[in-house]
A = this chain, B = another copy of it.
Amino acid sequence: MLTERQSRILEFVISEYVESAAPVASQYIGQKYPVGASPATIRNEMAELEEQGYLNQPHTSSGRIPTDRGYRFFVESLMHEEELSWDAQQTIRHQFHQVEHGQEAWTQLAASVLAQAVENAALVTEPRMDACRIKHLQLVSLHDFTMLLVLVLDESRLKQQVLTLDEIFTQEELTETATRLNQRFAGSSAAEVVAADPTLSQVERLVMDAVIEIMSSVDAGSFDEAHLEGLRHVLSQPEFSGSDQVLGLLELLDEHNISQAIPLRSLARGGVTVIIGADNPQLPQANDALRACSVIVSTYGSPGDASGALAVVGPTRMRYSRTISTVRYLAGVMSELLAEHYE
């Protein structure tokens, strides 16, 4: 549909607008980029691009700005995805290897690294399997009538709960109980435990009820816990200078609405997916502020094993090439690390 020259002009306009955040004029493009045509010709082409919906004019007699459709065309046809620079790659790897122990904060760290790398908001979910299984459980005596149930699920996720007992148990007794339960249930999913419906002592029943409850809540996990980081990068962009917009985005953060507003898992369909502005029907339109945003999302891990999602959220006026490369690269790194730790 677009001629060679129109494509190039579109590309130039987008490059320019991404940097300046201001409408782009024909004369300016003619000077700065090698179009090989006069401003008048560029104007004609721009008019055509506007006709077709790739560009927009805030008002007559101002320069053009790209539409969502313009960005989409750019991402799909014009952009050449660059390999992330070696420096950038090293920076990312280095930041990861600093914090080796304690994998609890792993995704938090990933979000932080990603946000810093792309200078936008980043969102990373915990890795999850489809149905979690018991790896190991343990009972620690806390006090006469209370004990701590420590549950290790696959992927080394830890859960704990304080339980209240009817009678006094020693640590030895609890350890024995735990050993029995481990032999019986290690490797089982919540559903399997329920299905087996074995005869249990009172304590065992108490423990397994708690285990089932915990595992169910993990499984139910429609509620993917996502870490959001770097929102300030987005909010400092000029398009969000109006305070209404700011508040809109802040609501995402505070109420833990993120997972709902941006259902990462359902969006990422293998590889990197780009959602631009309001052009994707999958994004619920609840939040106005999100309409001015694009989301670059990818899964990490492997589908059979544990997997999660990571995403960058920024204004539609975004450096797509760099952001996509970074997301792709980080997804790779995280997949590697995940594989290393839990084959």
- The total of chain A residues at the interface (CB under 8 A) is 44
Indicate if A3 sits at the interface (CB-CB under 8 A): no
Write out the residue numbers on chain B whose beta carbons fall within 8 Å of the beta carbon of A159: 102, 104
Inter-chain CA distance A77–B153, complex, in Å, is 55
Interface string of A119-136 (1 = CB under 8 A from B): 000000000000000011
Beta-carbon contact of B156 and A158 below 8 Å: no
Inter-chain CA distance A156–B214, complex, in Å, is 17
Indicate if A236 sits at the interface (CB-CB under 8 A): yes
Closest to A252 in B: B232
Beta-carbon contact of B243 and A229 below 8 Å: no
Interface residues of A (CB under 8 A from B): 101-104, 115, 135-136, 138, 140, 142-143, 146, 148, 150, 152, 156, 158-162, 175, 179, 210, 213-214, 217, 229-232, 235-236, 241, 243, 246-247, 250-251, 253-254, 341-343
Q: A150-B158, A232-B247, A235-B247 are in contact. List 17 more A-B contacts (CB 8 A).
A: A101-B210, A101-B214, A102-B159, A102-B217, A103-B161, A135-B140, A138-B150, A146-B343, A150-B152, A158-B158, A231-B250, A232-B253, A232-B254, A235-B250, A236-B247, A241-B243, A243-B246
